[in-house]
Amino acid sequence: MNYTVKYLVDNKTYQNESEFLKIDFQCTDKSIKLVLHPQKEIILLEARINFNDSQEKNEYFYSNGYQSWTDTLEESRKDKTKKLGILARCPLVEKKFHIKAYGDYTFIEYHKHYSFSFTYLRNKDNYRFYGSLNERTGYTVFYLEKNNLKAYKDIKNLHLKSTYDLFDIALFKGKENEVFDAYMNSFTKKIKITKKIKGFTTWYRHYENINEDIIRKDLEDAKNADIGLEFFQVDDGYETYVGDWTAINKEKFPHGLKQLAKNISEAGFKPGLWLAPFVASPKSDLFKKHPDYFLKDNKGHFIYAGCNWSGAYILDIYNSGVREYLHSVFSELKDDGFILFKLDFLYAVSLGQRTDKTRGQVMSDAMDFLRKELEDRLILGCGVPLFPAFFDVDYCRIGADISLNWDGPWYMKLVSKERVSSKQSRLNTINRKNLDHRFLLNDPDVILLTETKMSEKQRLSIYETDKKYGSVFFTSDNLSLYTEKEKKLFRELN
């Protein structure tokens, strides 16, 4: 195995060791470590490792997508990782919808086969596994170049003055469970929650069109269905604007969130609430009062998190005012009685370019912050890079949002790898099954048994896959329509 490290010193490019940089490279059949010891400030340009391993003709490469919603697949030599869709490559489309924000399109070099944080080469039931143990020092991206396995770090333009643990990679060989168990056991952290959960979420039934009367009816239906639901989670639509999480829409919820949580508890369920803590609408009071809380690009423009809510800006997690604000939000919502927090669009926090921290460190620091704020509550993460979520969330979405038909709108296939699709969501549930009960508990998204445009066969294929590989069994069905057939199916989820 060998490595390449390129960097700048006083505007001159150097490679590997020099009078300005000492490198400690340790390589065994179980691990690879590469530590940098700058002798003065350097600016990293590139860091790569060649593993002297390759994908043979009959082998599969594991491609772990960037975040929860990104396609995750096993790929043969003939397959390839999708690029940004042709529609999203149109400058006018990107200017309006900011599609690139959802994925890795602006900061990762494209390879036909690549994977975030961990990968394997599989020959039948024999695995050669490679997994990063530290993504704070930059996302580790494994890739194939002419079938040869390599990895690089997302560290371009990072300024270093002191010792830096760049690569820390574990290597394992064995059967599927053996290599993933060995990877799990390489971490000192362990998951704290092992219980699977069942519940109702308002999202797919109503989307943002919720109010007290609608939720009251859903609570009644959930109680009467008697299918073993434990949680009732209120999704988007209760707030005045995204970002103003405690400024409730009084027309829709005149009695406020505290009373809403009380109503849920009195109906026999544990209250859950959705929010996207790191983003805010330009129309929000938070943005109007504190524009200094938000990230800007190098041209001074606010950075968009995507096209949801007609565009939302991103909070700077290192701003003390931001942390104080989010602390007050979580304190109030906990006091209101909410137990489960679904935290969404988390990837956004690391979209800003910094020279003192990698995107991996920003994401990891943000997840540590959320865990500390909600250490006595349950966290369901969504729209988040998986490795930084390990052990910091209790439950985590591991696929895209499901669609009410099988494969989502046709035109979204021409947009991104993070598109809404029941078909792709199911594939991710299968391909990320090995994360469940090792690093977090898998949320495959909701199970819908009625009122969709999917065939019964398609609905049941999602049900059976989720039942086999999932740990979060939520629904948004109109539960008043459940017959004994649907009730029996849901009661069997455990």
Q: What DSSP line would sit under 150-197, residue for residue?
A: EEEES-TT-EE-S-EEEEEEEEEEESHHHHHHHHHTT-S---S----E
Q: Are 151 and 222 within one domain?
A: no
Residue 81's pLDDT is 95
**Residue 379, H or E segment:** strand 378-381
Flag whether 96 is in a domain.
Answer: no
Q: Are 301 and 175 within one domain?
A: no
Q: Are 180 and 47 within one domain?
A: yes
Flag whether 485 is in a domain.
Answer: yes
Flag whether 95 is in a domain.
Answer: no
Flag whether 80 is in a domain.
Answer: no
Residue 352's pLDDT is 86
Q: Are 142 and 210 within one domain?
A: no
Average of per-residue pLDDT values in the chain: 97
Residue partners of 456: CB distance under 8 A and separation at least 6: none
Q: Are 339 and 462 within one domain?
A: yes
Handedness of CA 251, 254, 258, 259 (dihedral sign): negative
Q: How confident is the model at residue 482 (pLDDT cuts 50, 70, 90)?
A: very high
Judge contact between 191 and 391, C-beta under 8 A: yes
**Residue 279, H or E segment:** strand 279-280
Mean pLDDT for the stretch of residues 305-333 = 97
pLDDT at residue 1 greater than cutoff 90: no
Q: How confident is the model at residue 353 (pLDDT cuts 50, 70, 90)?
A: confident
Q: Are 234 and 140 within one domain?
A: no
Residue 291's pLDDT is 98
Query: In CATH, what number is assigned to the domain containing residue 269?
Result: 3.20.20.70
pLDDT at residue 37 greater than cutoff 90: yes
Q: Are 141 and 239 within one domain?
A: no
Q: Dump pLDDT digits (tens) for 137-178.
A: 999 999 999 999 999 999 999 999 999 999 999 999 999 999
The number of domains in the chain is 2
Closest CA relative to residue 233, chosen from 345, 333, 363 = 333
| Cα 59 to chain centroid, rounded | 27
Q: Are 143 and 201 within one domain?
A: no
Flag whether 88 is in a domain.
Answer: no
Flag whether 191 is in a domain.
Answer: no
Asked which of 137, 154, 184 is the last residue of a domain, the reply is 184
Q: Dump pLDDT digits (tens) for 223-248.
A: 999 999 999 999 999 999 999 999 99
Flag whether 66 is in a domain.
Answer: no
Q: Are 180 and 203 within one domain?
A: no
Asked which of 161, 184, 207 is the last residue of a domain, the reply is 184
pLDDT at residue 370 greater than cutoff 90: yes
Q: How confident is the model at residue 100 (pLDDT cuts 50, 70, 90)?
A: very high
Beta strands in 64-183 (DSSP E): 73-75, 114-116, 118-123, 126-132, 140-145, 148-153, 159-160, 164-174
Asked which of 128, 163, 184 is the last residue of a domain, the reply is 184
Q: Are 351 and 238 within one domain?
A: yes
Helix, strand, coil percentages (3-state) for the chain, rounded to 5, are: 30, 25, 45
Q: How confident is the model at residue 413 (pLDDT cuts 50, 70, 90)?
A: very high
Q: Are 308 and 282 within one domain?
A: yes
Q: Are 48 and 165 within one domain?
A: yes
Q: What are the phi and psi torsion angles at 469 (to 5°)?
A: -120, -5
Beta strands in 301-361 (DSSP E): 313-314, 340-343
Flag whether 91 is in a domain.
Answer: no
Mean pLDDT for the stretch of residues 44-54 = 97
Give the domain range for residue 56: 2-61+109-184
Residue partners of 411: CB distance under 8 A and separation at least 6: 87
